[in-house]
């Protein structure tokens, strides 16, 4: 029998540091009025130097587990949607698995840019429906501030950092994720992209010069084209997901869209012939946090009591790829009394999980040393001494850097 995937926990994390439009206008040619009028953004949060995409994801996940009141060992799968992982591998999901001590969980990252959360939610619901797992942690997390060209006023004003997480659990009770629609159009990939350091013939390190170009791994965007794409797809995919769930727009209580630009939402509301009040917006406070934006908005909507049991909510995302998608979810939980959640006890477990992880690393190093094999650090040092790096030929790279 197919199972229903219900949202039983949610949590978010925003870095403390707030960057206002006024502050931004001191370093780049822009102003508060323009940003507010053209995007709806007033401020964004910026990760501290000791925060990473994985650490903020962990904070959001820990809060979601507190609400769900389940232990990390009950999680069968962790899916992290992100475009700003610290590493191509290990995945951010594996790092979160380690921080949580989720010892029975599979873990992987999912790349669908700003639609990542909707894609991950759909994958998680399918995994639950087919009973391959019963509890899934879905996280959207980004440190967009690290991939922005802070001199490019067409992009740096838009994005912010943050993380949001939900816990999904299988049940035979109808409800939860009712439908999902996922779409893509790779022909528009060049409209919004984030190159990696690996996308040239000569692998380079961040910040190097190759063939006369500064190898950027910052976001590149054709804002007008992306705007046009978004206004074309958002209303349609919402309508399709609602129909697929066997509902009509009148049955929908709240739409939680990806927070990219308030004008995109206004256009979608107009096309659907509904009031913009039916869309939840927190873009003014957080900016565009890419894959984190929908779960962050969900947490704010719950905190503001905009969701009640038996409400039907639509999540809709769009972004790089191009990708877009929507899910209809029956909301069936009342926010719990957090006093009774035992979060302190769970926090102690995370400290223990980190200690166990460190111990396992130490054991691995010790047994390697005893067996006479070099440690990973020694291997890297050795490779560097020989003038090679794992990614390719350093010599060729250095020559082209010198030419510039």
> Is there binding between residue 392 and ligand COA (CB under 6 A)?
no
* Stretch 120-139 residues interacting with ligand COA (CB under 6 A): none
Task: Report how far apart, in Å, the C-alpha atoms of 352 and of each of 51, 67, 110, 177, 356 are.
Answer: 20, 21, 28, 34, 6
> Is there binding between residue 153 and ligand COA (CB under 6 A)?
yes
Q: Quick count: other Cβ atoms within 10 Å of Cβ 113?
A: 24
Q: CB of residue 42 vs ligand COA: minimum separation in angstroms?
A: 14
For CA atoms 155, 161, 167, 173, give the dihedral sign: negative
Contacts of 176 (CB under 8 A, 6+ apart): 4, 5, 6, 7, 125, 168, 329, 330, 332
Contacts of 354 (CB under 8 A, 6+ apart): 98, 99, 101
> Is there binding between residue 270 and ligand COA (CB under 6 A)?
no
* Options 18, 32, 36, 38; binder of ligand COA; rule CB under 6 A: 38
DSSP string, 30-87: --HHHHHHHH---EEEE--TT--HHHHHHHHHHHHHHHHT--GGG--EEEEE-S--S-
Residue nearest to ligand COA (CB): 223
Q: Quick count: other Cβ atoms within 10 Å of Cβ 236?
A: 16
- Pick between residue 150 and residue 362 the one whose CB is nearest to ligand COA: 150
Q: CB of residue 290 vs ligand COA: minimum separation in angstroms?
A: 7
* Options 83, 91, 180, 261; binder of ligand COA; rule CB under 6 A: 261
* Options 72, 319, 321, 325; binder of ligand COA; rule CB under 6 A: 319
* Options 18, 30, 343, 400; binder of ligand COA; rule CB under 6 A: 30
The structure tokens listed for 68 are: 């769900």
> Is there binding between residue 323 and ligand COA (CB under 6 A)?
no
Stretch near ligand COA under the rule CB under 6 A, chosen from 88-96, 151-159, 245-253, 385-393: 151-159
Q: Which residues bind ligand COA (CB under 6 A)?
A: 30, 34, 38-39, 114, 153-154, 157, 192, 221, 223-224, 226-227, 260-261, 288, 319
Catalytic residues, by residue number, are: 114, 258, 288
């Amino acid at each position: 029998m197919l199972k229903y995937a219900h949202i039983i926990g949610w949590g978010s994390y925003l870095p403390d540091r707030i960057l206002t439009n006024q502050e931004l206008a001191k370093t780049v040619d822009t102003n508060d009025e323009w940003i507010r009028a053209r995007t709806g953004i007033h401020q964004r949060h910026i990760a501290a130097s000791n925060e990473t995409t994985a650490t903020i994801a962990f904070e959001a996940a820990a809060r979601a587990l507190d609400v769900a009141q389940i232990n990390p060992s009950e999680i069968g799968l962790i899916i992290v949607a992100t475009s700003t992982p610290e590493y191509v591998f290990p995945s951010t999901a594996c790092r979160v698995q380690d921080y949580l001590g989720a010892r029975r969980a599979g873990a992987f990252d999912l790349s669908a840019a700003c639609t990542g959360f909707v894609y991950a939610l759909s994958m998680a619901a399918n995994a639950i429906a087919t009973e391959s797992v019963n509890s899934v942690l879905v996280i959207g997390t980004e440190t967009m501030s690290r991939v922005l060209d802070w001199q490019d006023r067409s992009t740096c004003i838009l994005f912010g950092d943050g993380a949001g997480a939900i816990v999904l659990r299988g049940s035979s009770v109808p409800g939860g994720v009712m439908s999902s629609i996922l779409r893509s159009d790779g022909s528009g990939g060049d409209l919004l992209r984030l190159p990696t350091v690996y996308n040239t013939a000569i692998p380079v390190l961040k910040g190097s010069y190759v063939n006369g170009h500064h190898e950027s791994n910052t976001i590149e965007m054709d804002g007008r084209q992306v705007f046009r794409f978004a206004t074309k797809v958002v209303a349609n995919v919402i309508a399709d997901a609602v129909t697929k769930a066997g509902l009509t727009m009148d049955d929908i209580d709240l739409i939680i869209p990806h927070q990219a630009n308030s004008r995109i939402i206004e256009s979608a509301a107009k096309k659907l012939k509904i009031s913009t009040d039916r869309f939840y917006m927190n873009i003014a406070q957080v900016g565009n946090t890419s894959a984190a934006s929908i779960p962050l908005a969900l947490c704010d909507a719950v905190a503001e009591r905009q969701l009640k049991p038996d409400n039907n909510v639509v999540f809709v995302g769009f972004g790089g790829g191009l990708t877009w998608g929507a899910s209809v979810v029956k909301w069936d939980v009342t926010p719990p009394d957090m006093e009774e959640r035992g979060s302190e006890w769970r926090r102690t477990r995370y400290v223990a999980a980190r200690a166990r992880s460190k111990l396992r690393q130490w054991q691995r190093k010790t047994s390697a040393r005893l067996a006479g094999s070099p440690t990973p650090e020694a291997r890297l040092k050795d490779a560097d001494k020989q003038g090679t790096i794992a990614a390719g030929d350093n010599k060729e790279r250095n020559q082209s850097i010198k030419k510039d």
